[in-house]
Each structure stands twice: as structure tokens, then as C-alpha cells.
Chains A and B, each alone.
Chain A
Amino acid sequence: MTTSLVIQAARFGDLVQSKRLLLSLMLQGEVHLLVDKNLAPLAELLYPAVHVYPFYFHGKLDAASLKHNRALLGELSQSHFSKIYNCNYSPLTAALCRLFSAEIVGYRPVQASQGGIVKSPLLRLVAQMTAHRTWATFNLEDVWAYFTPNPVAPEKVNPVAEGQGKGIGVVLAGREERRSLPVALLADILKVYWKIKNEPPIYLLGTISEKSLAHQLQRHLPPGLQKCIKDLSGQTSFKELFAVLQGLDLLITPDTGTMHLAAALGVPIRAFFLSSAWCHETGPYGSGHLMFQVAGECAPCLEQAPCTKNLCCLEPLRDRTLLRTILHIEQGQKLDSDELAPNLQCWQGGLDPLGQHLTLVAGEDRAAEMRRSLRQLLAAYLQVDLGCCQPIPSEIAELFSQDQEWMLPNTRYA
């Protein structure tokens, strides 16, 4: 029996995507989870068997929150954890890790003279792979899952996505405006799905700051559809969001925390990935989801960098072929090779023994060969048998044989 502490100081979606790791650790024993205070209610809903500790990681710190944090650290220092799993490359969580004498897994604090935070070999490999994001094939949920050897089987993480007749959820926007669909486009897409699903109720989901988007969206919709709308923006606690999502036929969304939560509940996702969002990295986990990915020359871009291409990633989505393709896919029709506009792809979520694995449904994947090879080597590295053995391009092989990984003394974090 082990007692694990997982530190997850990141956002809503990241907390949900820690599920495979948490489930894997639960099989080994007791699991404790340190999360931001605001996300603690969600953590308790998602992981009722886990002991959740709310901590003030972000926002404003006042005397009361400082006192709370210190008391909690005092409590944690008295606990005897077998291992600490630090999920974040963050000086904040690295500082907290100094409280423990137990082994730190993931991102480990070291002296500032050695760089402050040291990554495990797997995380160093992941960091190298991010230099080639177009080849990506390792979902973040799986990255965290492999903090522990032999994580729980991918199909045990989330239920197979299946609509249950309650209606359509619409996430109005992601955290970044650039990663969200413009209202007019979202309205067009919603109209298609509403028709396909025989005009069910529509639930608009978002924060209070997205209320105006909800109003704008409704102005783009026909009266019949408007009548089916329930605008829940700014009105749902995590518990209420949980309740709303459960049983939906599908959720239309950009890359958001709500998307991951819905996937965890088995709601079929219809996600739109553009700008810096990349479905191979943070797509909804599990089988039965569809992701439309804009994959132009500049994709995926960097979240922090301003767009110098006039948001060109919206163009393929605005092409009318998208709505036709949605219709064809949902009706199970055979797709033409030029079904989608150039630079737009449609991927279907699935699983293989390594984890989340996407299959191209429509569009062209110029990085297909690299992606396949990368996945093959990654699986070999993690000692997962994918049952394939094809020649590996040298660019991919080099990722797995960086000089510093074998030239330097093996006292590096292993």
C-alpha cells in the first residue's frame, strides 16, 4: 500500500486530465491531491476517493489565505507520503516539494545552481518533442499517467462517448479568444448539429464574462432554435456543470476544461482546435470524440506569441465544406478525399495500448509518417507493445538519443 501525493496546480482542464495518473495511483493505495483552492470542489466531485487539499496557488494572497496555506503545509509535513507527484513545471510547486523528504516524481526541485527544477527523463523527452509539435502524438493525460510505470489501461479512464438524449452543450469560448470560434461560425455549426440531433435543447455554457457572447450567439440563430436555448453562462457551479453535462448528446467546444470534464463523463465531444490548440496534445481523452483541427503552416502557434498571420486559421473553418463534412460524418456517409478545405483535418479519438490515439477521418495529415514513427518509438521507450515495427526516420530517432542524455553522468534525475 502506497500513499501518494499529487500536486496539480494548473487549470481546470489539467485537473481533469490528471485522471489517468490518479486512477493508476489509486490502484496502488491511498491518493492525496493538492490543488488550487478554486478547483477543490471540482476535484472532490471528480475524484471522490481522493483526499483533496485546497491550496491558494494563484490569485491574491491575504492574511487568511496565507494562514490557511501554512496550516495546510504543517498538516502535510506530518503526513508520510511514499511519493510526491509534481505535475507542473512551476517554481511554485517546486517550492512546495521542498517540504517533503519522499521521492519527487515528475518535476523535481534542485538547487538554483542546477537550474531550480529538473525534469524526469520522460519529461525531458516530452520537452524535446514539443520542438516538433506538428508530429505530436502524446496526449497530456498520458504524459502524466506515465509518471507511474504501468498506468491503468487507457480504456479504463473515461467511458466510451455516447449520447444519451439530453441535448447539445455549447461551450461559448475558451480561455483564449484566439482559440475560440467566432460567434457567427459557432452559430452555423450549432444549426447543423441541432438539425442532425432532431432539434434538442441547447445549453450554453461559459463564465459570467461570456454572457455577452451568449446573447450575440442567439442573435445569429433562427427563432426555432432560440426557443431551445438555455443560457447557463455564469450560472453553473462545478456541481451544476457536472449535472448539465451528464447525459448530453454532444458538446460543441473549443479546447476547454469543460471539454475534458464532458469527456470524463462520456459525453461525445465535437471540438474545434485552432491557433495554439493541438488535438494531439490536449484532445478529449477516450473513444468516440471528433476533433476538427486547423493545421496550416503556422499551426500550432505559441499561445504567448501574438498572431502575425491575421488569424488565418479561421479561414478553413469558415469554408462551407466544414458544415457539409459535419453532416456527412454524423450521418455515417462515406467521405470524399477533398471533403474538407485545405489545412483542415477531422480526427476521431480512440485508444491504443499507449493511450490516446487519433485517427484521421477527413483532410490530409502531412506529418503522418513522423507521427506514426514517433508513437512507435515512444511506445518502445515506455515499454508498451503497439505491435508494429517499421523503419524510423533519423529525425525521430535523434529525439531519443540526445547527446546530453548519454554523455553526462547518469546521476541526472532518473
Chain B
Amino acid sequence: MDVAEYPLRLKEKIQVRILVILPMYGGSLPLGRYCATALESLGEQVRVFEAPVFYSTFMGLKELDLTPEQLLPLERAFLQVVSQAIWAHVQAFEPHLVLAMAQAPLNKPLLGRLQKLGIRTCMWFVEDFRLFQYWKVFAPLYDVFAVIQKDPLLQELSAIGQKRALYLPLAADPTVHKKSHLTQAEQKEYGADVGFVGAGYPNRRLAFRPLAGKNFKIWGSDWENEPLLAQNIQRQGQRIAPEECVKIYSATTVNLNLHSSVKTDQLISLGDFVNPRTFELAAIQAFQLVDHRSLLAELFAADEIATFTSMEEFYAQIEFYLHHPEERTQFIARSYAKVLEKHTYVQRMQTLLDFINDSIGFPTLKAEKTSQEDLGEYAKMIKDLLTELNAGPKADFAEVVARLRRASGQLSELETSILFLDEFRKQYIQE
């Protein structure tokens, strides 16, 4: 693989190759997928490293009944394998940018290798910086570090040497988060006056207890040992897939959106970042009551989203909005318009790419410096092939090859010729 020779600005480049590294599990996993979809819709070449496929193996190690002393080297070796798998993707795909979601298994040596090659690296740290600490070590190792909080985090990032930090709030994916038209059976299953989808953090447990007697459904995990709410917790606290969340939100009259907190002395944490649920509910055109956040006002105007700042207000507003459908409808319409206008993952990814482009630029690789040759008689054939492969008009040779490799079954002579040429190039031209 050739080392990047000079930075290339987006206006000069038709397409950026981006390797999105998903975490093995957790809340940032679906967000990573939304990012990948958004980048593709921006016309970039995207490949996703599916770290979740390793999750069961990793968990399997933990079930081997080993002592920590025995388990640790195994886990290290396992993560080394994951790193090597990422490296293999990098070698095959030659990305301009590696975009890691929070918790993505990119270790220090791998980040160093990427940097050496001039491949841009970015982490979107979609976590509360106060809860996770690893960013202090890893943030300086990335070219760009995007976060969902502002100061003091941005100042702290600067202090530890990360000068290209970007505040990038969360968003919604309107292709996933869209109004769901439910059947009667679905409405019955998912519907309720009041609903909540999410994990049973301590502040939520306490805040929701007074609602136990209502038509109130709680969906999501980590609600064990909560007898007061046992009747409200659905499916014994199973995890809910994102697709099903959409149905629940759509079927619920008042969706509660209380940001999580491990503290119980202050149920409304009045924190800074805005969670993904806020944007998702808006995109789904579902009504929500969200606790006040310091960064919320710059994302949604006061008449676009219903908020509360105290528990008294919280309970009062639930009752109010349950009985005022017109007010609900107005909030729904305004927040929906805003989220489409300003808060989609497509817009976030565009912001991110622009930031990288303006601050550091994208590398180009030697192999890309060949001039476009006159396609002549092949132009139509290639256009047809791109359509068939759903590759988009801007797809380059590498992207076409990647799609052909993923394709199963018998190929045409043109497709086979392209695969052969790629192998020929690797064997005789790049080496």
C-alpha cells in the first residue's frame, strides 16, 4: 500500500473511501450504521468493519471459567486478532478515512500504523465524557475527535493535544426513524398512554415509580429488581431492536425521554448533551417530553420540543399533554421539520467531512493519480454495470471491484475481466 503523498481537498476529489469501524456492542453500534448509510448517501465509498461478529466469541472467553490471570492474555490476544482483521480491511480497501465509533476496537499500534500511512482517523465519541475515561488516552491519537459535548470537554481535549476536536451533536436517520403505520394488533401490543424505551438507570427508576399505576409501558433492558414497575416492564426487560423502537414510539401517546443518570439525588441531571432518542422521536413524528439539557436550546427551539426541568413539571406535563392532542400535534410537526432540516446523520457526516477537509484534508494514494482515459465504446457498458451493482455514478474501480467481490454466483465476462484486472494490477503494477 502506498503512503499518502499529499493532502487532497474534497473539491478536487470525487469520492472519499471511508472505513467505518463499529464497536462490538452497545449504544454507539446502531449510530455507526446510521453514519455508514449517511456517508453512502453522500456518494462516498463506505466499507463497514463489522466488529459485532466478534462479540459472541469475546463473551465465550468469559464463560470459560478462567481466572482473571488466565483470561487477560486471552482477551489481549483476541483483541489483537480483531485489530489484525481491521488492518486487513485497511489494506484491502485503502481508505482515506477510518471513522471509529465510540468503543470501536482500534488499538494504539493500529492507530499508529494508520497515521504512518497518512490515512485520516476520526472517532465520533458519542458518549458522556464524564462516564468513560479512555478518551484521555485515545483522543490525541486520532486526527479528528468528534464529541457530543462542548466545554469543558473541548478545552480538555485541546489541553491534551487534540487540536481538531469537533462538537457534533447526535441526529436521526429518516430512512430508519420514520412514522410507522401500525396494524391494530401492533397498536395494541406497542401502544400506551405513556411509554419509555431505554435502560433502567437509577434516576429513571425513581422518576418512573409514581407512574406505575398508569397505562405506562417500559421497554428495554436493565430493569431487574424493580417490583413497583414490574407490571409496566414489557417482555421481561429484553433488549428492543431499533426497528421495533420505531413502532413503540409511534404507538405511544406521550413518549418519555429522561436522559440517563447514575445519580439518584437529582433525577433530572440537567446535563449538557442531547441523546439520540430526542432526534429519533422527532423524526418518527412521535410526541416526546424531554428533560432540559444545556445544549438542547441550540438544537430545537422552545416551541419545537416539550421540556421539563423539575419532577413536578414532569408529572404535570404528562397529564397535560395526554389530554391536549392539538398541542402534541404542533410540537410533533415543528420538531419533525427541524430534525429533517438540521439534524440528520447525512448532515452530521457532511459537517464531519467538511471539518476534516478544512482542517487536515484527505490523503490520496499514488494509485489514484492516473488520469481518466477515454472510455470510448465501454462507457455505456460501464454505466450499465455501475447501475447493476448499485454502485452510483461516482464509483471508482476499487469500489466496483469491492462490490463484485461481495457479489455471489457467476459473473459476466465484463465483471470477470474487471476482477482479473484488479488481480493483475496487484500482482504486476503496485508491487
Contact = CB atoms under 8 A, between A and B. Distances in A.
Interface in A49-89: 58, 61, 66, 69-70, 73-74, 76-77
Contact of B420 (A74, A95, A111): A95
Nearest to A58: B428
B406 A92 contact: no
Contact of B419 (A77, A98, A100): A98
Interface string A135-164: 000000000000000000000000000000
Interface stretch (B27-35, B37-45, B134-142, B410-418): B410-418
A165 interface: no
Nearest to B422: A95
A111 B405 contact: yes
B413 A99 contact: yes
B427 interface: yes
B416 A92 contact: no
B427 A92 contact: yes
A56 B419 CA distance: 14
A96 B410 contact: no
Contacts of B414: 70
A73 B424 contact: no
Nearest to A61: B424
Contacts of A61: 421, 424
A94 B424 CA distance: 11
A235 interface: no
A101 interface: yes
Nearest to B420: A95
Given A58-B428, A112-B92, A112-B405, A99 B410 contact: yes
Contacts of A58: 428
B423 A95 contact: yes
B394 interface: no
Nearest to B419: A95
A289 B410 CA distance: 45
A144 B350 CA distance: 54
A159 to B, nearest CB: 37
B429 to A, nearest CB: 9
Instruction: Label chain A's interface by main secondary structure.
Output: helix
Contact of A92 (B92, B413, B415, B420): B420
Contacts of A101: 409-410
B209 to A, nearest CB: 49
A395 to B, nearest CB: 28
A109 B145 CA distance: 40
Nearest to B50: A113
A91 interface: yes
B423 A98 contact: no
Contacts of B419: 95, 98
Interface residues of A, number: 21
A92 B410 contact: no
B427 A91 contact: yes
Given A58-B428, A112-B405, A92 B417 contact: no
Among A73, A74, A90, A100, max chain B CB count under 10 A is at A73
Contacts of B404: 98
B417 A70 contact: yes
A90 B412 CA distance: 20
A286 to B, nearest CB: 33
Contacts of B422: 95
A309 to B, nearest CB: 27
B426 A77 contact: no
B406 A111 contact: yes
A92 B417 CA distance: 10
A73 B410 contact: no
B408 to A, nearest CB: 8
Nearest to B417: A70
Contact of A69 (B92, B417, B428): B417
Contacts of B420: 69, 92, 95-96
A73 B417 CA distance: 8
Interface in A167-210: none
A76 B422 CA distance: 20
B106 to A, nearest CB: 20
A73 to B, nearest CB: 4
Contacts of A66: 417, 421
Contacts of B417: 66, 69-70, 73
Contact of B411 (A74, A91, A98): A98
Contacts of B406: 111
A92 B421 CA distance: 8
A74 B411 CA distance: 11
Interface in B129-152: none
Nearest to B53: A113
Contact of B426 (A69, A91, A112): A91
Contacts of B408: 111
A92 B92 CA distance: 16
B29 to A, nearest CB: 20
Contacts of A111: 405-406, 408
Contact of B416 (A90, A91, A95, A112): A95
A90 B421 CA distance: 13
Interface in B280-332: none
Contacts of A99: 410-413, 416
A101 B416 CA distance: 12
B423 A92 contact: yes
Contacts of B426: 91
B392 to A, nearest CB: 21
Nearest to B409: A101
A328 B102 CA distance: 77
Nearest to A74: B413
Contacts of A70: 413-414, 417
A316 B64 CA distance: 56
Contacts of A90: 423
Most B-side CB within 10 Å, residue of A69, A70, A77, A101 = A70
Interface string A92-119: 1011101111000000000110000000
Nearest to B406: A111
A73 B423 contact: no
B416 A98 contact: yes
A253 to B, nearest CB: 28
Contacts of A95: 416, 419-420, 422-423
Interface string B169-192: 000000000000000000000000
A376 B34 CA distance: 59
A52 to B, nearest CB: 19
A100 B410 contact: yes
Contacts of A112: 92, 405
18 contacts: A69-B417, A70-B417, A73-B413, A77-B413, A90-B423, A91-B423, A92-B420, A95-B419, A96-B420, A98-B411, A98-B415, A98-B416, A99-B412, A99-B416, A100-B410, A101-B410, A111-B405, A112-B405
Given A66-B421, A77-B416, A92-B424, 19 more contacts: A66-B417, A70-B413, A70-B417, A73-B413, A76-B413, A77-B413, A90-B423, A91-B423, A91-B427, A92-B420, A95-B420, A95-B422, A95-B423, A96-B420, A98-B410, A98-B415, A99-B413, A100-B410, A112-B405
Interface of A: 58, 61, 66, 69-70, 73-74, 76-77, 90-92, 94-96, 98-101, 111-112
Interface of B: 92, 404-406, 408-417, 419-424, 426-428
The 8 closest A-B CB pairs, nearest first, are A73-B413, A95-B419, A91-B423, A99-B416, A95-B420, A74-B413, A98-B411, A101-B410
